Amino acid sequence: MEAIIIADNRERTSGIPEILAEKKIHVSMKQLVTGDYIINDEIVIERKTSSDFVQSIINGRLFNQCARLRKTMMTPLIIVEGNPYKTRHDINPKAIKGALLSVSLRWQIPIIRSSGREDTVELIIMALNQHNNPPVFISGRATVLRKKQNQMHFFIQGLPGVGPALAQRLLAHFGTIEQMVLADTKTLENVEGIGKTKATKLYDLFRSRS
């Protein structure tokens, strides 16, 4: 498979697209709506310096970006360059830990730290190679199934009162959207995080007319 990486135009100043090109990786520059790098239309990467990462926590931008990354239907990844605990920002370290945990657990987006742009380039190339050459135990069918699961997860997450974590539990419990929609309130209540009130609201929503 030909390697295709799309880099956001604003990433030119980072020097990373140039380094990728020097390593014989084809990079196409484009104005991206979400993310800084897209690999083969399957992986979307948001690159942040440690200072920018902490600033995005302070101004609340981080979780909006997480939401946009999830909406792409691609596999998301956040790369943080440098140590977020050592920046010029005055912030409690617990707030940084909490944000890291929230992104990883609630939004289910992995965060990888790099030492600098050269290390970031290496991570992008490794992500590209792993995508193009998956382990032998991961088949093409598995990739298709994973993409469908991401689409179902995004659909369920859009329901009122359902966040990423609850959407994952609903999908794991019912297996398909059809089974979830057909479930009665008692069955919906069996899912952790769904009480009687939320189960009733979902049940009524699935059976409401336009």
- Rounded Cα distance, 133 and 209, in Å: 47
Neighbours of 96 (CB within 10 A): 18
**For residue 176, pLDDT beyond 80:** yes
Instruction: Write phi, then psi, for 111 (nearest 5 degrees).
Output: -120, 125
Within 10 A of 49 (CB to CB), how many other CB atoms are there? 18
Q: How far apart are the first and last CA of the chain?
A: 45
Entry pTM: 0.68
Looking at the domain 140-206, which fold is it?
A: DNA polymerase; domain 1 (1.10.150)
pLDDT at 78: 97
User: In the beta sheet, which residues pair with residue 78?
Assistant: 46, 111
- Provide CATH 3.40.50.10130 ranges for the chain: 5-132
- Residues forming beta bridges with residue 81, ordered by sequence position: 49, 114
pLDDT tops 60 at residue 200: yes
CATH number belonging to the domain at 5-132, selected among 3.40.50.970, 3.40.50.1820, 1.10.645.10, 3.40.50.10130: 3.40.50.10130
Beta strand 27-30 pairing with 5-8: parallel
Q: What percent of the chain has pLDDT over 70?
A: 91
Residues of the chain with CATH 1.10.150.20: 140-206
